[in-house]
């Protein structure tokens, strides 16, 4: 399997609500702060040696990200289930510690976490002795998902998709989040049924772009200021990388910032957004930047562009995925 396909695998996801993608180096996590749970964790499994032990390590919260915490797992049947397993990344203290982020923790039934799920992870490590594997753990929720008094939502089920990168084989396993026996082999499903499993009971929500900073009406005496981009039901993916868009509830692409209405996206809806003055591209998937503007009044608008920089349309109503225009002023 070539590198472009592997990169596409890293970028593919199923998004059910507002999400934040965090690259932890050894794994990537798509996290839903409203659920206080990850919705997807992906990583490569190689034949890493075991050099360190997990003894004494505790889960920790990443700064500025709202996640679950210890109270969500206190005196109940829910384990802190590692989605990127600690045992896969015990080659260094740094890697092992990264797996103890609450970003990587999900409310997993203790019988599942210590039984079939754990034994399947052991099988994955054994398979990785022969070739590198790529693993996607999909965490599934629906309207019946339990909301704990502590604030976190309990997943309904898990799907583990395993790609054998050299032999080009794919295995998929589906687990309800309950007390199960240890026979993980009986949980294998046809990978062709994956889409049906992932989208069951899923309601599409509006795709949206917006400014976190600055706000509409922003006035500053400083010519340099920070802009931060927000999105809803959008998977931010770099320019040049084509992502399979099989789920109708999300949009994929990267941000473009148009200053002072200098480019008419509607009139050029089928054309790539140009590289031009006052049309800024964030093709690396950036979600923030520092801008410097001379004194004056300005309008700012975000536009989502695909891998070819063409404007993206919402699959919900075929409208362009753009933000509201905001007005700012830089004082002399």
Model confidence pLDDT, tens digit, residues 91-136: 999 999 999 999 999 999 999 999 999 999 999 999 999 999 999 9
| Mean pLDDT, the chain, integer | 85
- 78 — phi, psi (to 5°)? -95, 120
Tell me the pLDDT band of 200, cut-offs 50, 70 and 90: very low
Task: Give 95's contacts (C-beta < 8 A, 6+ positions apart).
Answer: 25, 26, 89
Torsion of CA 278, 284, 287, 291, to 10 degrees: -40
Tens digits of residue pLDDT in 145-164 = 999 999 999 999 999 999 99
Q: Pairing state of beta strands 218-220 and 326-330? A: parallel
The residue written with tokens 């040049």 in the block is: 240
Q: Is 32 a residue whose pLDDT tops 60?
A: yes
Show me where the domains of the chain are located.
3-199, 208-330
Q: Is 199 a residue whose pLDDT tops 50?
A: no
Query: What number is the average pLDDT over the span 46-61?
Result: 91
Query: Where is average pLDDT lowest: 215-219, 248-252, 260-264?
Result: 248-252
Name which of 234, 229, 236, 217 is nearest 291 in CA terms.
229
Tell me the pLDDT band of 249, cut-offs 50, 70 and 90: low
Taking a C-beta distance cutoff of 8 angstroms, is the pair 168, 98 a contact?
no
SS3 at position 255: strand
Helix, strand, coil percentages in the chain from 3-state DSSP, rounded to 5: 15, 35, 50
CATH fold for domain 3-199: Extracellular Endonuclease; Chain A (3.40.570)
Torsion of CA 122, 127, 129, 134, to 10 degrees: -100
Which pLDDT does position 25 carry in this prediction?
A: 82
From CA 281, how far away is CA 257, in angstroms rounded?
Answer: 7
Query: What number is the average pLDDT over the span 297-324?
Result: 89
Q: Judge if pTM exceeds 0.95.
A: no
Task: Give 295's contacts (C-beta < 8 A, 6+ positions apart).
Answer: 223, 330, 331, 332
Name which of 102, 78, 80, 87 is nearest 43 in CA terms.
87
Q: Which two tokens stand for residue 296?
A: 């004056």
**∠ Cα 168 160 9 (to 5°):** 50
Q: Is 17 a residue whose pLDDT tops 50?
A: no
Burial class (CB in 10 A: 0-12, 13-18, 19+), 50: exposed
CATH class of 208-330: mainly beta
Helix (H) or strand (E) holding 90: none
């Amino acid at each position: 399997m070539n590198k472009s396909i592997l990169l596409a695998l890293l970028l593919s996801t199923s998004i059910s609500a507002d999400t934040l993608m965090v690259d932890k180096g050894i794994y990537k996590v798509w996290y839903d702060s409203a659920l206080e749970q990850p919705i997807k964790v992906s990583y490569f499994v190689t034949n890493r040696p075991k050099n360190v032990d997990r003894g004494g390590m505790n889960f920790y919260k990443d700064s500025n990200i709202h996640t679950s915490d210890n109270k969500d797992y206190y005196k109940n049947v829910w384990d802190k289930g590692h989605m990127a397993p600690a045992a896969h990344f015990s080659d260094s203290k740094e890697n092992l510690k990264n797996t103890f982020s609450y970003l990587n923790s999900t409310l997993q039934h203790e019988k599942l976490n210590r039984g079939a799920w754990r034994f399947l992870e052991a099988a994955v490590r054994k398979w990785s002795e022969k070739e590198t594997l790529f693993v996607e753990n999909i965490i599934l929720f629906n309207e019946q998902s339990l909301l704990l008094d502590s604030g976190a939502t309990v997943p309904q089920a898990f799907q583990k998709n395993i790609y054998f990168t050299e032999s080009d084989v794919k295995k998929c396993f589906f687990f309800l989040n309950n007390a199960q026996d240890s026979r993980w082999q009986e949980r294998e499903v046809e990978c062709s049924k994956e889409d049906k499993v992932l989208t069951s009971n899923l309601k599409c929500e509006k795709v949206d772009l917006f400014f976190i900073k600055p706000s509409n009406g922003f006035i500053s005496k400083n010519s340099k200021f920070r802009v931060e981009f927000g999105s809803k039901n959008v998977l931010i993916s770099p320019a040049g990388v084509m992502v399979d868009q099989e789920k109708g509830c999300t949009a994929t692409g990267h941000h473009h910032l148009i200053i002072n209405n200098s480019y008419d996206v509607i009139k050029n809806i089928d054309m790539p957004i140009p590289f031009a003055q006052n049309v800024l591209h964030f093709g690396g998937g950036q979600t923030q930047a520092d801008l410097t503007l001379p004194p004056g009044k300005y309008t700012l608008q975000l536009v989502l562009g695909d891998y070819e920089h063409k404007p993206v349309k919402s699959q919900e109503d075929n409208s362009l995925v753009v933000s509201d225009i905001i007005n700012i002023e830089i004082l002399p």
